[in-house]
Amino acid sequence: MSESYPEDIVTCAMQPIIDLDIPLVLRSSIERHGRDLMELAVGLLNAGMDEQHIRPVIKQACSSYRDELISAILGLREHHEKQ
Amino acid sequence: MKNNKQLDDEEGRLAALRRYDVLDTAPEEPFEKLTELVRSVLGVPIAAVSLIDAERQWFKSIAGLVACETSREISFCTHTIKQRQPMVISDATLDMRFAKNPLVAGDPRIRSYLGIPLETPDGYNIGALCAIDFKPRSFSDNEINILSSFAKLVLNELELRQIAMSDALTGTMTRRAWIDCAVKEFARSRRYGSDASIIIFDIDHFKAVNDVHGHPAGDAVLKTLAQRCIGVLRDSDMFGRIGGEEFAVLLPATNAQGARDLAERLRKRFADEPVDVHVQALHVTASFGICGLNGSIDGVAAWLAAADKHLYAAKQNGRNCCEGGEKQIIGICA
């Protein structure tokens, strides 16, 4: 039971990333990021934090990655167009 | 392959750090968000992404303190990167390594510290994510695990950046990444008056390879020649695919003659070793233009243009040859 809501929190936070058109070369990075976010969510839960507090932390951590991901996608597209 | 060998390989570690091309870049929101989160989740006044350069620790992000860098010798994170495990200091005044440290004895009067090494996939600790307090405190296993998770997120963002800087086919830098690095190296060479050179090369008749043998064969040629080149370059050299079949190498601390010698070695190796494509061996050559940095070159665009001029001359002179780089030519590089 306690492990299901970290999963739900991470899935919700990752949704805006999943919706992006992701180049193949970046997919393993996204999978790894999802796993690391899950580990963080479980860690926060184990430290006694409740869902209400975990959710914004995971959301913020994920949005940080999303900013970087969008830059990476744009950079790769630009390079691809020049080849 | 990760083992403790990388912990003692300072040259390799610095090369790994340089590959991320992050030192001396402007503050960026993704990293700021993570250090702010660390601060609030762990309840510490300071959190930082600290990268350990040769002589300094430089903060990609620091929350709770106004600082850009410190000397390496007083840095706590310098100790963190010497190990694989987190470094926990509950009271710095009781630790002989830090009791007399100016950051402990004076402002900001650090008392406790938790640092997680930022370990690259190839096993180098390029820096640390750290949480710092002004009062003595212990860090629980849960808190250590949480900071370790945040450290993985920091690495993911750095890795993402590196993927974006890499040409997926050849593994070399993209044009944009190469130019960014070249701009920094140009500035560094100017500041210290040190040598630096550019080699650019273009695969001869590459269109015919694609037309006659197909694009997979063309891709195999690009990958093979890039790998041969990587095999002879130093960690500090910067290698990028700057056009379809055009590559550039920036060689720090190398004069024009040294660059010319290297270009000639590469040219000979390309010409002597056919590329295996399916069951065929394709004979492929490349033309090279070399330009050492000299006083009349005012920027990377001019430097690249000068090397390109020599590359054009190599094409005109029958291809499969090197032009530029000789001492007598340096004077007309710009």
Amino acid letter, B284? V
Phi (first) and psi of residue B287, to 5 degrees: -110, 145
Dihedral of the alpha carbons of B4, B237, A75, B54, in degrees to the nearest 10? 50
Contact B37 A61 (CB under 8 A): yes
Please report, for residues B38, B86, B167, B181, the alpha-carbon distance to residue B148 in angstroms, rounded to integers and kept in the order given: 11, 8, 30, 30
Nearest chain B alpha carbon to A77: B164
Interfacial A residues in 18-77 facing B (CB < 8 Å): 25-26, 29, 32-33, 36-37, 39-40, 43-44, 46-49, 57, 60-61, 63-65, 67-69, 71-73, 75-76
Give the tens place of pLDDT for each residue, A36-83.
999 999 999 999 999 999 999 999 999 889 988 988 888 888 877 777
Considering only CB atoms, which chain B residues are within 8 Å of A64? 29-31, 33-34, 153, 157
Query: Order of strands, edge to edge, in the sheet holding B87-89?
Result: B69-71, B56-63, B46-52, B125-133, B112-119, B87-89
If you count residue pairs, one on A and one on B, with CB atoms under 8 Å apart, how many are there? Answer: 92
SS3 B22: coil
Give the tens place of pLDDT for each residue, B117-147.
999 998 999 999 999 999 999 999 999 999 9
Closest CA to B134 of B99, B104, B101, B102: B104
Handedness of CA B4, B7, B10, B13 (dihedral sign): positive
**From B245, B246, B264, B326, the catalytic residue:** B245
- Using CB atoms, pick whichever of B29, B37, B140 lies closest to residue A67: B29
The pLDDT assigned to B328 comes to: 41
Give the position of tokens 């004076």: B106
Between the two ends of chain A, the Cα-to-Cα distance in Å is 50
- Using CB atoms, pick whichever of A33, A43, A76 lies closest to residue B145: A43
Contact B33 A61 (CB under 8 A): yes
Residue B330 Cα, gap to closest chain A Cα (Å): 30
Contact A57 B37 (CB under 8 A): yes
Strands B112-119 and B280-282: unpaired
Rounded-to-integer distance, Cα B117 and Cα B80, Å: 6
Residues of chain B with pLDDT under 50: 1, 327-334
pTM (predicted TM-score) = 0.81
pLDDT band at A22 (very low <50, low <70, confident <90, very high): confident
ipTM of the complex model? 0.92
Q: Can B246 be counted among the known catalytic residues?
A: no
